[in-house]
Structures are given as C-alpha cells and as structure tokens.
Structure 1
Amino acid sequence: MAKNHLIIISILLPLAFLAAAVTSHEVPAKQDRTATVVVEGKVYCQSCKYFGSWSLTDAEPIPAAKVSVICKNHKKRVSYYNAFETDKNGYFYAELKDFKMSHYLLDHPLHSCHVKLVSSPLESCNLLSNINNGIYGSPLRFENKVLYGKNYNAVVYESGPLAFRPSTCDPETTD
C-alpha cells in the first residue's frame, strides 16, 4: 500500500509543479499596464572659448534643436527611428513609442539605440560637434530612473549632453 502511494506521489508531484509553472506564466487576457522606453538629454551651443574641445563650460541651451534616436537590431538593421525637438531649456524627452526588441538582450536600448544631432535653429550656432559622439551617435546610459503612473511605466535612459558649435568665432575668444 505504501509503495502504491509513493508511485502516485512521484507521478502527481511533477504534474503539480508543471501546472503551477504554466499558470504562473500565463499572460492575462487584457493587459492594462504599459511599459515604454524614454530617452532624455540636453542640447547646447558650445562657447567659442572652448571651441575644439569637449567642454560645455559657458554653453547655452538651444531651444527647438532637433535630435534623432536610432535603434538597430542585432542584425544591424534599423528597428526604430524618430526625431525629437528640445524645449525652451534645450531639454528633450523622447518617448520611444512602438519600440520593440526581437531579442531581449541584443536589442536592448543600452546596446542598440543612439542619439544624434540633427539640426539647430540658430544660424550663429548650427555646426555639428562630436561632443559625447553627437555626430556618430551618443550611447545611452541607465541612470536608475523609472517613472511610474497608474497605467504607465517608463524606463528612462539618458544621452550625454550634445552640442552644436558656433559657425564663426572671434579669434580673441578662442584663446
């Protein structure tokens, strides 16, 4: 009799674990919470005094500057692209709507996304600079920032501050 109980337990116990594993990973029919990816940063006009360096000392924020966020999947194909504009303080908040990862690690925003300078509305400061790789693509960094809302979670990544440089600088100010 004890042998029969042992056989039944040895059959039913794995089935119980399997049932628990299957039910614990089921996706609810209606998902009411969404998660998204956000990239933020600032765009400046570099001071003529620091022309040719990566210094942003005395730099001024540029309102209405444009940056792009480009993500490539692990096959090096563009999987996301959008341009965003800075606010009056030179700050941009780029919500990557419809961003998708086909591979959870290789297509992660930290590995696959970059921010590039696009344009400056200032005629006096509209040349691209490569401060924080603004020309080739500034990598993202995670600053342990997540925004929580009632039906919204956003993981926030940052781009290094980017800068345009003045189109003309007086030789006296660059010394």
Structure 2
Amino acid sequence: MKMKFVWSIALLVAATTMMNIAECWEEKPANIASGVIRVGGKVLCQDCTDGWNEWVSGNKPIEGCIVSVTCMDDRKRIVYYGSDKTDKSGEFEVTIDEYIHGKKINPETCFTRLVSSPDPICNIPTDFAGGKTGVKLGRPTIMYRDIIKHVLGPFYYTTPMCDEPDTNDNDNDNENYGNSYANEKNY
C-alpha cells in the first residue's frame, strides 16, 4: 500500500512538471512554414595613421573576421549563438531558424558583435556602429515571405596606433577591466 502511494505521488509530480514545461513551450504552428532570420553586414579596417581623406574613404574590407549573433530568452538565458567569417569583400551573414527547440526566437533579444580579426595589423575592435559592445537587432531591413533580414554595420577594426586608451579614473571598473561589454551593459 505504501509503495503504491509513493508511486502515485511520483507520477503526479512528473505529470505536473511535464505540463509546466509544455506550457512554456511555444510550438510552431503546423500550417506555417518555418522562417529564418538573417543578420548581415560588413567588417572594414579603418587606419587613423593615414591622412584625413584616406582615413575617411580608405576603408578596406577584412577577410576572415568572425562576427557573432547571440539570442536570449525572456529570462536572459542564451537560446542561440552563431557566428560567421567574413568573405573577401568583408561581408558576413548569419542565418537563424525562427524556431529553435520549439521556441520562437524574438529578434529584439538578439545582439551582434565583433569577435576576432585575423589581420595582424588591423585587429583592434572599435565601437563605430557598436561592433565592440554589441548591437541589438531592431527593425528588420528586409521582410519577404518567410525571411526577415537585418543589415547592420559596417563594423570597424583599427590598428593598435589608433586605439584610444581608457582614461577612466573610476575605481569600480577594476573588477571588469578589459570587459567593455560588461561595463557598458552593467552585467
């Protein structure tokens, strides 16, 4: 008798847990084709050691840079992380399924940022267009059928000679030294 009671309680707890999980899951409607979210842009090198005209219009694309896209859920947990390398013209494009593990991705909870540059000279990320700290996706640039596209950037890397040193005298920044994303976003 006691064993039946224990099994009954265990089954009740398991059923309740499964129902709670099922309520949190937003299933993809069966009659709608799965769409995709595309995030694209360009990565360029901007060298401040050149003259003004070369600095303004002399941006060159960097091949092989890694750009990442991270999407969060409502609880600030990562539900998607992807990256892409830039091609010869410095362009990247990350494709995200609209539904991941049964949950719909909200593009407004995604951000894109620079990760690395293979260029031995132009490898310091800048915050022009938010490439260093990350850019949240806003309104899509293109919407057509099941495709939503966000065109960002361009993002820029620069040379070590052009990197502006951090002159902030705030003592509270010691714990996040070198982590500009944490400083900017207060994580």
Under TM normalisation by the shorter chain, which class is it? 0.5 to 0.7
* Aligned position for 2:19: none
- Report the alpha carbon displacement of residue 103 of structure 1 after superposing the two structures with TM: 7.7
Cα distance in 1, alignment partners of residues 98 and 111 from structure 2: 16
Give the letter aligned to residue 79 of structure 1: V
Cα distance in 1, alignment partners of residues 56 and 71 from structure 2: 26
| Contact 1:70/1:81 (8 A) holds in 2 | yes
For structure 1, the 5+ residue unaligned runs are 1-25, 170-175
Cα distance in 2, alignment partners of residues 61 and 71 from structure 1: 26
Cα distance in 2, alignment partners of residues 99 and 162 from structure 1: 28
Give the letter aligned to residue 35 of structure 2: A
Match among 154, 158, 168 for residue 161 of structure 2: 168
| Contact 1:138/1:160 (8 A) holds in 2 | no
- Report the alpha carbon displacement of residue 34 of structure 1 after superposing the two structures with TM: 2.9
- Report the alpha carbon displacement of residue 98 of structure 1 after superposing the two structures with TM: 6.5
Alignment TM-score, normalising by the size of structure 2: 0.60
For structure 2, the 5+ residue unaligned runs are 1-28, 163-187
| Contact 1:141/1:158 (8 A) holds in 2 | no
Cα distance in 2, alignment partners of residues 56 and 147 from structure 1: 34
| Contact 2:111/2:135 (8 A) holds in 1 | yes
- Report the alpha carbon displacement of residue 168 of structure 1 after superposing the two structures with TM: 3.1
Cα distance in 2, alignment partners of residues 93 and 44 from structure 1: 15
- Report the alpha carbon displacement of residue 77 of structure 1 after superposing the two structures with TM: 0.8
Cα distance in 1, alignment partners of residues 64 and 48 from structure 2: 21
1:114 and 2:128 correspond: no
| Contact 1:64/1:86 (8 A) holds in 2 | yes
- Answer 1 or 2: which has greater helix percent: 2
| Contact 1:73/1:102 (8 A) holds in 2 | no
CA offsets per residue over residues 75-112 of structure 1, 9 Å max, x none? Answer: 111111011111110011111147549886xx520x21
- Answer 1 or 2: which has greater strand percent: 1
How many equivalent residue pairs?
131
- Report the alpha carbon displacement of residue 160 of structure 1 after superposing the two structures with TM: 2.4
**Aligned sequence identity (%):** 28
- Report the alpha carbon displacement of residue 47 of structure 1 after superposing the two structures with TM: 2.5
* Aligned position for 2:73: 73
After TM superposition, list the pairs within 5 Å mapping 1:20-35 onto structure 2: 27-28=30-31, 33-35=33-35
- Report the alpha carbon displacement of residue 156 of structure 1 after superposing the two structures with TM: 0.5
Give the letter aligned to residue 112 of structure 1: T
Structure with larger RCO (C-alpha < 8 A, sep 6+): 1
| Contact 2:140/2:148 (8 A) holds in 1 | no
CA offsets per residue over residues 21-77 of structure 1, 9 Å max, x none? Answer: xxxxx844xx6x331110011111112158xxxx86422111111111011111111
Question: Any runs of at least 4 consecutive aligned residues in structure 1 with deviations exceeding 6 A, and if so which?
Answer: 101-104
| 1:66–1:72 CA distance, 2 compared to 1 (3 A) | same
1:132 and 2:129 correspond: yes
CA offsets per residue over residues 131-156 of structure 1, 9 Å max, x none? Answer: 122122112243441355xxxx3211
* Aligned position for 1:20: none
Give the letter aligned to residue 108 of structure 1: N
| 1:39–1:60 CA distance, 2 compared to 1 (3 A) | same
